[in-house]
Structure 1
Amino acid sequence: MEAPITVDRLRFLLYSVKEKLWVKPLGFCLLSIFAVFVAKVADGTSLAEHIPEIKPESVETLLSIMASSMMVIATFSAGTMVNAYASASQSSTPRSLSLIISDDVSQNALSVFIGAFIYSAVALTAMTQAFFDEAGLFILFCLTCLAFSIVILTFIRWVDSVARLGRVGSTLLKVERATTRAIKNRIDMPCLGAVPQEQIKEQGTYAIYTKQVGYIQLIDIAKLQKSADKNDSFINVAMLPGEFVSPERVIAYSNKKVVSDEIVDAFTIGEARSFEADPRFGFIVLAEIASRALSPSVNDHGTAINTISSITRLMLLWHKPKSETDNSQKNSAQHEEFKYDRISLPALNVNDLFDDAYTSIARDGAANIEVAIRIQKSLKTIKACFKNEGTIIERDFFEAASKLATQSYERAKLALDYEDDIKRIERVYNNH
């Protein structure tokens, strides 16, 4: 029996929840209210016989300090986060905003501050109504001390993080990490567990369309498999996550006439692309960061060079030592089995991947000799790692890197004016 939800869909849902700023604060607020009433439970036990006496005035003083300060700190942290989001959009690219919003340190800090305020307000109100006896008062005192400790530790950690929140270097690192996760997930399941499209002889007679306009954020392969099993059909998915869909574009084909809504419902379509299921989107965002750094108003070629280094590391995630490649080929030859055998998906287009990563940087940095040379060195590294490899994807990487190296070299020759710079780029290119 197939699982009702795939790992990819679960990962996508968790990422979507992380993008909502209200989820964690709401959870902490409910937890803080629950903690106050947990203290009341102690009044029904014999705990009062074994604990020291706590004066209500001391607990009220601690709660009053927390109630008066936490809302101010929470307001300050929210303002700081909003400024960081605006700074990230201006200094890097608006497409990175979702990663900054989902920053765990900032979300946890805001949630703790708001939760501590709600806890102190509710506990203080309960105390003024003589809600607690001796045991409950002691537990409340312990919880208040614990809350103070958590607030202090969270604030210290948040201060260290907020200094980098929204900065170009921090944003670049977040984008690289998100893209790394997407690439590793795609390497583990190149076609999301479905049959590679090149192994399918027939495309399918019946075309499936959607009325929505936007980007495919997720494809629920398990849902498609369930539909295909029910109809005894085979579904050939025509588009990958990250591609733009509209009513005139075919999203899938079926070899039998089926209810198209069942297939369309498996596609999550939104206004923007998502990092989690779309490795290409990470490269696009990195290229945008580099292009903005190379603009005349910014003129920060160091950031562009750092971005090219990130792209190089990400591209090399597809590279495996020859021994691992031979073993994987033997295993795939012996076990040609697919989890979703009634679904086919196209493979990731390597040429599009390189175009997303390098073309805009090569265009905008053509007149900058440092950037042009770094692009050549990056592509040289990729070519060296994928040279003389046997698999199709490795040959595709070598050919795409060679093509981009030539294009970048030609752009640089046209843009550079100084003769020595032209000779430098020629030496680096001819040394490939």
Structure 2
Amino acid sequence: MRMDTKFGWKLQRLAKKLWFRAALYALAGLLTALFSVFFSPALPPFVSAKIGADAVDNILTILASSMLTVTTFSLSIMVTAFGAATNNGTPRAAALVAEDPTTQNVLATFLGSFLFSLVGIIALSAGAYGEEGRAVLFVVTLGVIAIIVAAILRWVDHLSVLGRVGDTIDRVERSAGHALEERRRYPSLDALPASAHDLFAPVDAIMIHAPDIGYLQHVDVAALDGIGEKFGTRVHVLAIPGVYCDPSRAVAWIAKAGNHGADEAEMTAAIASAFTIGAMRSFEQDPRFGLSVLSEIASRALSPAVNDPGTAIDVIGRLTRLFWLFRTLSEEERPGKPRFQHVTAPTLSLVDLFEDAFDPIARDGAGHFEIQIRLQKTFKSLSGIDAEMAAEAKVQSRRALAWAERSIAVDDHLARLRDAARQIEALGAGAER
């Protein structure tokens, strides 16, 4: 799903909130209970005599009490899963567990069923249902019970993985993969790629500074393009999502010349409002964040308190897959002409991506031979993508080897690592930093 506009991005984030889905299901439960009142006149009188509708009172009472208990119990399980994701992975990954659609659907089903039962009991007590209405309510209640049973079966199966470190890593990898795939298709957020000239504003340029303090979460490129078209100028974006901003930092600039004139204040305010800044980084437009979170999970696994090199090796394998995903494009996936012609924006720095992903693992796994040899194999694999990747892989290979030489005392292990690093150095040429 594209998130060019701030409204679309905020709507997508709103849809991931637990209360949003629960509110929709609760509203559906309320409407379903009231449906029986208005639909009952269309039901032939003899139908109610053939359906055991008298039992609906007891069924609704049982549903109301049991669904409240199950909802409370499920919420406690969800909170425990948040804690497990934080303790076994990283606090940055807990947000993805909270956005789990299966958990949200199950909890919303339980809450909606509770409200359905509650409204049904109240309506029955008020005499809102006739005999036909009770028959309709009975049939609808059977349908709600079927939905509840399906939700419970799905929930029981889901609990076997919720909050576990493997499940947390899967979620982070998927989020990072989606962000990288979006950036692969639109390297400059579907704007014109910023040249070296675009990244350095002239002395007479109009600078637009960050409107708040925090991490840049989203850039409304569509709004910036509309502003540029309206005022006959081009907006040069300097900061992309993931950058930490404060009011002293320029996030964009525009040329002084142009027909903005007296509307300059209005224009700069509109440009600044296109940059959304928050207290925490978000996964959607910030691929580096996903890589950093994966690296954090690996670092925690390598800590003496956890001592789980296997998880770190698993993370390295996933990082390898993500880099291949990011740098390999089919002909159909190659970026076309940027849609927003009045905006320039920087592309992701491959140096930053490598450092976010591998530097912490190389540092914290310096004394683990199995980690270091896996890193060297990864760098060799990534060297086969293209010359730019090969050049950065060589830099990372040397850096990881330097960490290993300071911590590994076994000569045979060091010899194997040095041999692996030499093989990477001997691979295809590329401009080196």
TM-score for both structures, normalised by structure 1: 0.91
The residue correspondences of 1:9-408 to structure 2 (distance < 5 A) are 9=6, 12-49=9-46, 53-198=50-195, 203=201, 205-256=205-256, 258-259=264-265, 260-320=268-328, 324=330, 337-386=337-386, 395-408=387-400
Q: Determine helix, strand or coil for the equivalent of 1:431.
A: helix
Q: Percent identity?
A: 33
Query: Is contact 2:239–2:252 with CA below 8 Å preserved after alignment?
Result: yes
| Aligned residue pairs, count | 412
C-alpha displacement of 1:162: 1.8
* 1: CA distance, partners of 2:172 / 2:12: 14
Gaps of 5+ in 1: 387-394
Gaps of 5+ in 2: 425-433
C-alpha displacement of 1:113: 0.8
* 2: CA distance, partners of 1:69 / 1:328: 51
Aligned amino acid, residue 389 of structure 2 = F
C-alpha displacement of 1:208: 1.0
Rate the CA distance shift 1:160–1:46 in 2: closer, same or farther, 3 A.
Answer: closer
* 2: CA distance, partners of 1:118 / 1:276: 34
Query: Is contact 2:234–2:254 with CA below 8 Å preserved after alignment?
Result: yes
Aligned amino acid, residue 28 of structure 1 = Y
Query: Is contact 1:11–1:276 with CA below 8 Å preserved after alignment?
Result: no
Query: Is contact 2:192–2:343 with CA below 8 Å preserved after alignment?
Result: yes
Q: Determine helix, strand or coil for the equivalent of 1:44.
A: helix
Q: Determine helix, strand or coil for the equivalent of 1:142.
A: helix
Does residue 412 of structure 2 align to residue 420 of structure 1? yes
Runs of 4 or more, structure 1, over 6 Å off, are none
Query: Is contact 1:36–1:140 with CA below 8 Å preserved after alignment?
Result: yes
Q: Determine helix, strand or coil for the equivalent of 2:242.
A: coil
* 2: CA distance, partners of 1:26 / 1:186: 33
Aligned amino acid, residue 346 of structure 1 = P
Query: Is contact 2:5–2:222 with CA below 8 Å preserved after alignment?
Result: no
Query: Is contact 1:15–1:276 with CA below 8 Å preserved after alignment?
Result: no
Aligned amino acid, residue 405 of structure 2 = K
Q: Determine helix, strand or coil for the equivalent of 1:385.
A: coil
Tell me what 1:392 maps to: none
TM-score for both structures, normalised by structure 2: 0.90
Aligned amino acid, residue 109 of structure 1 = V
C-alpha displacement of 1:9: 4.2
Q: Deviations over 1:16-60 (max 9, x none)?
A: 224422111111111111001111122222443556533443111
Q: Determine helix, strand or coil for the equivalent of 2:253.
A: strand
RMSD: 2.0
Query: Is contact 2:210–2:275 with CA below 8 Å preserved after alignment?
Result: no
Q: Deviations over 1:69-92 (max 9, x none)?
A: 111100000000001101111111
Aligned amino acid, residue 306 of structure 1 = D
Aligned amino acid, residue 390 of structure 2 = F
Aligned amino acid, residue 339 of structure 1 = R
Q: Deviations over 1:103-144 (max 9, x none)?
A: 011111111111111111110121122221232222211111
C-alpha displacement of 1:145: 0.7
Q: Deviations over 1:336-369 (max 9, x none)?
A: x431111100111110010000000000001000
Query: Is contact 1:6–1:222 with CA below 8 Å preserved after alignment?
Result: no
Rate the CA distance shift 1:372–1:406 in 2: closer, same or farther, 3 A.
Answer: same
C-alpha displacement of 1:199: 7.3
* 1: CA distance, partners of 2:3 / 2:211: 25
Aligned amino acid, residue 273 of structure 1 = R
Query: Is contact 1:95–1:285 with CA below 8 Å preserved after alignment?
Result: yes
Rate the CA distance shift 1:222–1:160 in 2: closer, same or farther, 3 A.
Answer: same
* 1: CA distance, partners of 2:15 / 2:178: 16
Q: Deviations over 1:380-418 (max 9, x none)?
A: 1000232xxxxxxxx332211111111111111111011
C-alpha displacement of 1:226: 1.2
C-alpha displacement of 1:11: 5.6
Tell me what 2:428 maps to: none
Rate the CA distance shift 1:8–1:408 in 2: closer, same or farther, 3 A.
Answer: farther
Q: Deviations over 1:293-325 (max 9, x none)?
A: 00000000000000001100000013337xx46
Query: Is contact 1:6–1:221 with CA below 8 Å preserved after alignment?
Result: no
Rate the CA distance shift 1:100–1:411 in 2: closer, same or farther, 3 A.
Answer: same
